[in-house]
């Protein structure tokens, strides 16, 4: 047995869909209730679907009974303020797990690289069912900001930078990619993030919206990239030294808990 995966992700692991007309939507995300939830960077989250419909963001496997990231329950207090966001999450017709709006405060490129992480989307996901991927619908207008994807965490050559103007729609296998967002600001970024189960419904949705697995990566000065990479190496080395000094052998050298 193996997981059901979208052929759209076979080649590159991500697709960029047609832009959504974000200007035509009300700014529902500004009315939502946000909870503090540490992710990659300085963040808060407004849960739209959670494990049991509560106003919280924890992985479904951290609840009792523990289960995988599917069959999310709508959070009434938030979805009643955001019918458009709910409808957009439901449009593919695929099973939805976690669904929430992230608020990310501005950061810089080196910080984004430091925060690169892989999502834990498929814990407890039964073999033979659909692989969980994530949709990122940018709500705020951040054309100079990028969703950064790397196949290899420490290899800038594998980096793809996807610009995030209002209405940008990207679906990513975020368990495969190291990823984080470089939000230039000065305002925070808002994005609807939805866990979807791969299958024929999601395939049809990607096709309908012309999912492009070869969307061009935004250019960036290689010297700037190398300088940031060196900064990350230094920070990780310092962190490793700190952990070592605390005599915690075997402690993972990873950025802070990251789950957006």
Say if residues 175 and 196 touch (Cβ distance below 8 Å).
no
SS3 59: coil
Closest CB 179 distance from Fe ion, rounded Å: 6
Nearer residue to Fe ion within complex by CB, 173 or 260? 260
Spatial separation of the C-alpha atoms in residues 49 and 47, rounded to whole Å: 6
Closest CB 260 distance from Fe ion, rounded Å: 5
Nearer residue to Fe ion within complex by CB, 81 or 119? 119
Nearer residue to Fe ion within complex by CB, 119 or 203? 119
Nearer residue to Fe ion within complex by CB, 119 or 159? 119
Q: Closest residue to Fe ion, Cβ-based?
A: 119
Nearer residue to Fe ion within complex by CB, 119 or 173? 119
Q: Using CB under 5 A, list all residues that contact Fe ion.
A: 119, 260
Tokens representing residue 188 in the block: 């925070």
List, in sequence order, every residue forming a beta bridge with 229; answer none if it has no partner. Answer: none
58 HSE (CA, 13 A, CB side): 10
Sheet hosting strand 142-150, strand order edge to edge? 159-164, 142-150, 178-182
Spatial separation of the C-alpha atoms in residues 62 and 72, rounded to whole Å: 14
Closest CB 172 distance from Fe ion, rounded Å: 9
């Amino acid at each position: 047995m193996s997981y059901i995966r979208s052929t759209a992700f076979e080649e590159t692991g991500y697709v960029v869909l047609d832009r959504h007309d974000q200007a035509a939507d009300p700014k529902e995300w500004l009315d939502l209730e946000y909870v503090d939830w540490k992710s990659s960077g300085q963040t808060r989250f407004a849960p739209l679907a959670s494990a049991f419909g509560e106003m919280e963001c924890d992985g479904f496997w951290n609840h009792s009974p523990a289960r995988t990231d599917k069959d999310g329950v709508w959070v009434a207090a938030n979805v009643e303020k955001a019918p458009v966001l709910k409808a957009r999450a439901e449009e593919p017709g695929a099973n939805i797990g976690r669904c929430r709006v992230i608020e990310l405060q501005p950061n810089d490129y080196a910080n984004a690289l430091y925060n690169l992480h892989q999502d834990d989307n498929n814990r407890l996901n039964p073999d033979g069912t659909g692989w969980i991927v994530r949709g990122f619908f940018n709500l705020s207008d951040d054309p100079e900001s990028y969703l950064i994807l790397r196949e290899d965490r420490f290899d800038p050559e594998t980096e793809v930078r996807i610009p995030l103007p209002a209405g940008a729609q990207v679906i990513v296998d975020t368990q495969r990619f190291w990823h984080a967002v470089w939000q230039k600001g000065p305002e925070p970024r808002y994005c609807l993030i939805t866990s979807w189960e791969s299958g024929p419904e999601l395939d049809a949705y990607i096709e309908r919206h012309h999912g492009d697995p070869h969307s061009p990566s935004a250019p960036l000065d290689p010297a700037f990239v190398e300088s940031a990479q060196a900064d990350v190496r230094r920070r990780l080395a310092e962190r490793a030294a700190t952990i070592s000094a605390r005599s915690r052998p075997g402690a993972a050298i990873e950025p802070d808990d990251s789950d957006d």
